[in-house]
């Protein structure tokens, strides 16, 4: 246990001791002295209990190894737009493969464009429909990787309709900071850069047979890109 943690406890104890001496000198009756003893003892017990609770509170919900540099990660959207999927293979998190059943494939995005993955479609020499999901990390306060806490989109093929749904999630985070008397004596320093949070990008790459007729909702067509090499 760090000595700095005891500072908020030691200072009140010293103050209590000084007050106790002053009151004890002026207190004439033993009954009054007993009341003072009970009050001060109870207050000290509360301080000790508060210290014990503080020491056992979780300091961090998610493990961290220091500041996370996201600048090293590529821009998935730009890489996908240029068709460089081989260069972002490490960011592939899930794949789906469906058998072709029709000569037509309609793509439906069940989310508001900008709140779900960007979709790229390419016609290749294949007999099946393949869907790959790429995504970069989501960082909380510049230190906590919460990527795994965010659900991946759902992909379903029904007849000739491919439906992509962005699943909603409600995440709640709680943090505990040292009080000022501890913080000013500790090695931790305020770093504005650690306060930033960012959510990673999601890209869906769909490969379909060359002769398959691909259509999609006109209202969402700006959320779907056709790749032509």
Quote the CA–CA distance of 122 and 102 in Å, as a whole number. 17
The chain-wide mean pLDDT, for the chain, equals 76
**Residue 25 predicted with pLDDT over 70:** no
Query: Tokens representing 43?
Result: 């207050």
Query: pLDDT (tens digit, 9 = 90+) per residue, 145-198?
Result: 888 888 889 999 999 999 999 887 777 766 655 554 545 444 444 444 445 567
DSSP, res 200: -
Residues in Cβ contact with 34 at an 8 Å cutoff, skipping those fewer than 6 apart: none
Q: Is the pTM of this model over 0.75?
A: no
Please give the Cα distance from 214 to 162 (Å, whole number): 10
Q: List, in sequence order, every residue forming a beta bridge with 130; answer none if it has no partner.
A: 97, 207
Identify whether the C-beta of residue 122 lies closer than 8 Å to the C-beta of residue 226: yes
């Amino acid at each position: 246990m760090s000595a700095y943690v005891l500072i908020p406890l030691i200072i009140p104890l010293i103050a209590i001791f000084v007050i106790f001496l002053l009151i004890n000198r002026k207190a004439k009756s033993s009954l009054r002295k007993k009341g003072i003893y009970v009050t001060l003892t109870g207050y000290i017990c509360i301080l000790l209990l508060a210290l014990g609770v503080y020491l056992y509170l979780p300091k961090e919900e998610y493990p961290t190894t220091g500041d996370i540099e996201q600048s090293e990660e590529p821009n998935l959207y730009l890489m996908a737009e240029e068709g460089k999927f081989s260069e972002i293979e490490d960011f592939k998190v899930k794949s789906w493969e469906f058998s072709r059943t029709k000569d037509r494939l309609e793509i439906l995005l069940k989310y508001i464009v900008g709140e779900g993955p960007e979709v790229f479609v390419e016609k290749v020499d294949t007999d099946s429909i393949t869907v790959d999901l790429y995504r970069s990390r989501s960082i909380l306060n510049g230190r906590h990787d919460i990527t795994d806490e965010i659900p991946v989109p759902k992909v379903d093929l029904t007849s000739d309709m491919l439906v992509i749904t962005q699943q909603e999630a409600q995440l709640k985070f709680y943090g505990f900071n040292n009080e000022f008397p501890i913080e000013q004596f500790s090695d931790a320093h305020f770093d504005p850069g650690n306060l930033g949070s960012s959510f990673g990008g999601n890209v869906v790459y769909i490969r379909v047979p060359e002769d398959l007729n691909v259509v999609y909702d006109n209202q969402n067509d700006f959320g779907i890109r056709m790749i032509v090499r």
